[in-house]
Structure 1
Amino acid sequence: MKKITIMAFLTCIALISYNAAAQEVNKNYDEKLAKELKADDYGMKKYILVILKTGSAKDLPKASLDSIFKGHMNNIGRLAKEGKLIVAGPLGKNENAYRGIFIFDVESSDEAQKLVETDPVIISKVMTAEYYPWYGSAALKETLKIHSKIEKKSH
């Protein structure tokens, strides 16, 4: 019994030592940037992922659709400038009627829903939205700065 207790104790010490070594601080860690981006210890943070799906509005005239999608793009630009919308983009054709995604840097699905409800594709029922908490890299916020440097044509 004494040998089993000693073995268990040594195993625990080995596991604790291994775990401590596995969690070394990254030598490239930038504390100021991590705080600015609201990153946790793993460089991650919570976002709200929105999946846009085909809505109930069908057979709208082309002029109406053109106007709705122009407003949609303007709304995306506005939300990005406000720092609320981090990523947006269309999805390829799929069997789920998924049209696109938004990733919002907001605290709750309710807050994201209020922002999405300002979009002409939602107002017109051309699309609907589903909301999900999502945990991803806090560095996503930096993509907007980079995108403005690589975007040759604006919408």
Structure 2
Amino acid sequence: MKYIATLVICLLSLQLATAQKTNPNYDAELAEKVGADEYGMKLYVFVMLKTGENTSKEKEPMDKAFAGHMANINRLVEEGKLIVAGPMQPNDNNYRGIFILDVRTIEEAEKLMQTDPAIKAKYLKPDLYQWYGSAALPEYLPASDKVWKVGF
């Protein structure tokens, strides 16, 4: 009998310990707007931009490609496809920057990457990975636009 009582207490303790908690701050409307699953997450594509195979130092074509790269970044942000972008500091891996794309598949991301003049000219090479992150990530963009003083 003592064994059964101990087993019942252990099972009840285990059930309580593994019970899922409901978020008291849950906002169903926001969750739906950002495409969140029940954990508040969703799939994105994470892009590591590396130095590409084009090592030409010709100033005019390089300047044109990188001006197009910045214009493309702005266009993708306006379309809601790009939610994080930024350059990397110099490093031994030749990583140049990152993107987080608000698309679900690598194929969609590859199509978007081919609209970038610096990638087309092979100054940059994208490595793409599916990434599971907070569905609220795009919500930081409006605040982000209010904190920069000097633009590129």
> What's the counterpart of residue 36 of structure 2?
39
Aligned residue in 2 for 1:19? 18
Shift of 1:60: 2.9
Paired residue for 1:7? 6
Question: What amino acid maps onto 2:50 in structure 1?
Answer: K
Counterpart-to-counterpart distance in 2, 1:82 and 1:40: 22
Alignment equivalent of 2:100, drawn from 100, 103, 106 = 103
Deviation digits for residues 86-140 of structure 1 (CA, Å, limit 9, x no counterpart): 1111111111111111101111011001101110111000011111111111111
Contact 2:106 2:130 in 1 (8 A): yes
Q: How many residues align?
A: 152
Aligned-residue offset at 1:40: 1.9
* Counterpart residue type for residue 109 of structure 1: I
**1:56 aligned partner:** 53
How big is each residue's C-alpha offset from its partner over 1:55-114, in whole Å with a ceiling of 9 and x where there is no partner?
110123112211111000000000111111111111111111111111011110110011
> How big is the shift at 1:3?
4.7
Q: Which has the higher mean CA deviation after the structures are superposed, 113-122 or 33-42?
A: 33-42
Unaligned runs of 5+ in 2: none
- 1:15 maps to a residue whose letter is L
Match of 2:84 in 1: 87
The structure where helix makes up a greater share of residues is 1
Q: Does 1:149 align with 2:118?
A: no
Listed as ranges, the gaps of 5+ residues in structure 1 are none
The alignment yields a C-alpha RMSD, in angstroms, of 1.6
Contact 2:50 2:124 in 1 (8 A): yes
Shift of 1:5: 4.8
Matched, 1:68 2:74: no
> Letter of the aligned partner of 2:100 in structure 1?
I
Q: Distance in 1 between matches of 2:71 and 2:91?
A: 25
Question: Does the aligned pair in 1 maintain the 2:104–2:130 contact within 8 Å?
Answer: no
Partner residue, 1:122: 119
Q: Look up the SS of the partner of 2:122 in the other structure.
A: coil
Deviation at 1:150, TM superposition (A): 2.2
